[in-house]
Amino acid sequence: MNSHETVVYENTFPVEGKSFNNAGQVSTQVKALLQKMKIPIKIARRAAIVTYEAEINICSYADHGKIILRVTPEEIIIEAIDEGQGIADIEAAMEEGFSTATERIWRMGFGAGMGLSNMRNFSDYFHITSEVGKGTRLKMIICIDDKHLGKQ
Ligand SMILES: Nc1ncnc2c1ncn2[C@@H]1O[C@H](COP(=O)(O)OP(=O)(O)OP(=O)(O)O)[C@@H](O)[C@H]1O
Ligand SMILES: [Mg+2]
């Protein structure tokens, strides 16, 4: 990660917690923005997938949250920060198939227990911290082939 890299785009998107009213809207916007910035489609798709999974988890489990998108010429940085119940056992939550989804979440089509492992698999850097009763923070970085950006 290059923390001194020039940020060419930065935006914070609020995400409603415990509600599916707007579920998926942030990841749709993120994908459109990245495509507008001429980010290669494969990279934009990966960024949209990790954003979507983080967004749906906030919609499912948190009280409220936000997603921060930052783009530099070399990488896409996505942070998902929420306030809510937090995760007691991160190692267990990271396992494929682990889910505490309720019937309501199931009925929305979620709760396979794949979101966090997808986020880890589709990002080049993945970091999660959580505090029970406080909330959860995710940071994910996807590297861009630096030949592509800036040719807009
Ligand atoms: N932001 C969050 N706040 C609180 N708990 C969370 C959060 N994100 C994930 N969890 C916990 O971690 C578990 C695993 O999350 P993960 O996204 O991998 O699967 P899922 O959301 O249950 O199902 P899927 O993502 O496949 O629809 C969740 O069931 C939930 O218990
Ligand atoms: Mg999930």
Full 3-state SS string of 88-144: CCHHHHHCCCCCCCCHHHHHCCCCCCCHHHHHHHHCCEEEEEEECCCEEEEEEEEEC
Ligand 1: residue of 26, 87, 139 to mutate (most ligand atoms within 8 A of CB) is: 87
Q: Which atom of ligand 1 is nearest to the CA of 118?
A: 18
Q: Which atom of ligand 1 is nearest to the CA of 80?
A: 1
Residue 151 pLDDT exceeds 50: no
User: 62: which 2 tokens?
Assistant: 């948190």
Q: Say if CB 115 and CB 53 are below 8 A apart.
A: yes
Q: Is residue 148 part of a domain?
A: no
Q: Is residue 4 part of a domain?
A: no
Q: Is residue 125 part of a domain?
A: yes
For residue 152, name the pLDDT band (cuts at 50, 70, 90): very low
Query: For residue range 58-85, what is the model confidence (pLDDT) as tens digits?
Result: 999 999 999 999 999 999 999 999 999 9
Domain count of the chain? Answer: 1
Place of tokens 């996807």: 142
pTM metric for this prediction? 0.94
Pick the ligand that lies closest to the CA of residue 116: 1
Boundaries of domain holding 106: 9-143
Q: Is the CB of 57 under 6 A from ligand 1?
A: yes
Phi, psi for residue 27 in degrees, rounded to 5: -65, -35
Q: Is residue 116 part of a domain?
A: yes
Q: Is the CB of 116 under 6 A from ligand 1?
A: yes
